[in-house]
């Protein structure tokens, strides 16, 4: 029997959370369900299936006064909800603080609302307050209020443990559901030839240019120590592009590092790479690691608190390195280029969208 499902997300701009939301929407569609996607701000970098009922709520003119925004968004959304009718399942990907206020103000059956948490909150929120215990306590209290007494879904066990043990949130319920991947579609998209694919061998990093979390600076410094003829491709874009270019120039790596920009379809680049490296200080899950394994591309990753160690299990765990360690990362890159275990179906089947969507639908039952 068809179900009515609502998904909320801030934007559909380039990013991992946005890709996950769209993938989940597609997976629900394939099962014959009706999907309504509510997007707060009109930024759409991805193609959206025309069968998804897309509701874009603002072109950017919603008040900049933070306290007013939830009420203004609710004023726009509630008439839509009255028109659509009831939902069987509501999944919010709006994060804490403002997002939880918006959802609370909507005329929804709040017991059908599940808040999906995509990042370790302590790492993401406390970065600026490491030395200020008062501000840290204030921020912790704010996060707790956002998640207490709510149904939560975390994208990894590490995110769940961070919420319960570090933030000390007390949700109504909490469970881990991994991000969904359409394995067949990813492999199909990887066969589409991009004219800009380099002819030389290369190592790849895929992600937004954000040194505070993705730490491309650590990767570039590690690559500078690696003895290889491979080039390094940084696929993506973002606010820290200028700083990354400055670092590349300071190390005289202009001829060895490629910056092709952002591509909606990164899979041909990942498939052709001899190695994918993730250098982040923190991740919620680390989608690109699973995508690389699906495409049979070896992976080296920093061992963040959540995500990578759950994806790179068994013998692949040997290719995890401490965060921020340039020397360890450079040595592990060399080791992976020299020899890597065979990537098998058991390494990726846990992330198949067919399995993941059933876990979400079980919330209805």
The superfamily CATH assigns to domain 183-347 is Glycogen Phosphorylase B; (3.40.50.2000)
Q: What is the pLDDT of residue 134?
A: 58
Q: What is the pLDDT of residue 282?
A: 87
Q: What is the pLDDT of residue 124?
A: 58
**pLDDT, mean of each 10-residue run, the chain (365 residues):** 93 86 94 95 89 88 80 92 94 86 92 92 60 65 85 93 91 95 94 82 94 94 96 93 96 95 92 96 91 97 91 94 96 96 93 95 88
State the Cα–Cα distance between residues 117 and 313, nearest whole angstrom. 22
Q: Specify whether the CB–CB gap between 252 and 260 falls below 8 A.
A: no
| CATH architecture classification, 4-180+353-361 | 3-Layer(aba) Sandwich (3.40)
Q: What is the pLDDT of residue 135?
A: 62
Radius of gyration of the CA atoms of the chain, in A: 21
Q: What is the pTM of this model?
A: 0.86
Which residues make Cβ contacts (< 8 Å) with residue 133, sequence separation at least 6? none
Q: Where in the chain is the domain with CATH 3.40.50.2000?
A: 4-180+353-361, 183-347
Distances from the Cα of 177 to the Cα of 12, 153, 285, 313, 363, angstroms: 21, 6, 11, 17, 11
H-state helical runs in 63-206: 69-84, 98-105, 121-126, 133-147, 157-161, 183-190
State the Cα–Cα distance between residues 319 and 299, nearest whole angstrom. 7
């Amino acid at each position: 029997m068809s179900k009515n499902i609502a998904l909320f997300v801030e934007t559909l701009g380039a990013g991992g959370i946005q890709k996950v939301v769209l993938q989940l929407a597609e997976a629900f569609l394939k099962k014959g369900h009706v999907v309504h996607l509510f997007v707060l701000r009109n930024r759409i970098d991805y193609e959206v299936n025309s069968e998804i009922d897309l509701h874009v709520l603002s072109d950017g003119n919603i008040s900049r006064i933070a306290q007013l925004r939830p009420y203004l968004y609710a004023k726009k959304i509630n008439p839509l909800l009255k028109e659509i009718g009831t939902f069987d399942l509501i999944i919010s990907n709006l994060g804490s603080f403002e997002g939880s206020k918006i959802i609370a103000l909507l005329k929804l059956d709040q017991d059908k609302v599940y808040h999906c948490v995509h990042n370790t909150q302590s790492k993401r929120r406390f970065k600026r307050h490491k030395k200020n215990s008062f501000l840290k306590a204030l921020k912790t209290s704010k996060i707790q209020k956002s998640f207490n007494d709510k149904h939560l879904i975390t994208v990894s066990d590490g995110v769940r443990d961070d919420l319960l043990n570090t933030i000390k949130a007390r949700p109504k319920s909490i469970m881990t559901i991994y991000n969904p991947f359409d394995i067949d579609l990813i492999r199909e998209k990887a066969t589409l030839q991009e004219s800009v694919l380099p002819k030389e061998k290369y190592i790849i990093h895929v992600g937004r240019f954000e040194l505070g979390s993705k730490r491309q600076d650590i990767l570039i410094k590690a690559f500078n120590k690696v003895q290889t003829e491979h080039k390094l491709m940084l696929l993506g874009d973002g606010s820290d592009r200028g700083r990354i270019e400055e670092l590349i120039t300071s190390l005289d790596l202009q001829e060895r590092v490629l910056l092709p920009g952002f591509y909606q379809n990164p899979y041909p680049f990942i498939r052709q790479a001899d190695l994918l490296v993730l250098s982040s200080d923190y991740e919620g899950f680390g989608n690109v690691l699973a995508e690389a394994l699906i495409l049979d591309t070896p992976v080296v990753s920093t061992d963040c608190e959540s995500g990578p160690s759950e994806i790179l299990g068994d013998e692949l765990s040997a290719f995890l390195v401490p965060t921020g360690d340039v020397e360890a990362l450079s040595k592990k890159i060399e080791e992976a280029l020299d020899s890597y275990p065979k990537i098998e179906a058991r390494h990726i089947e846990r992330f198949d969208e067919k399995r993941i969507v059933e876990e979400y639908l079980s919330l209805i039952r």
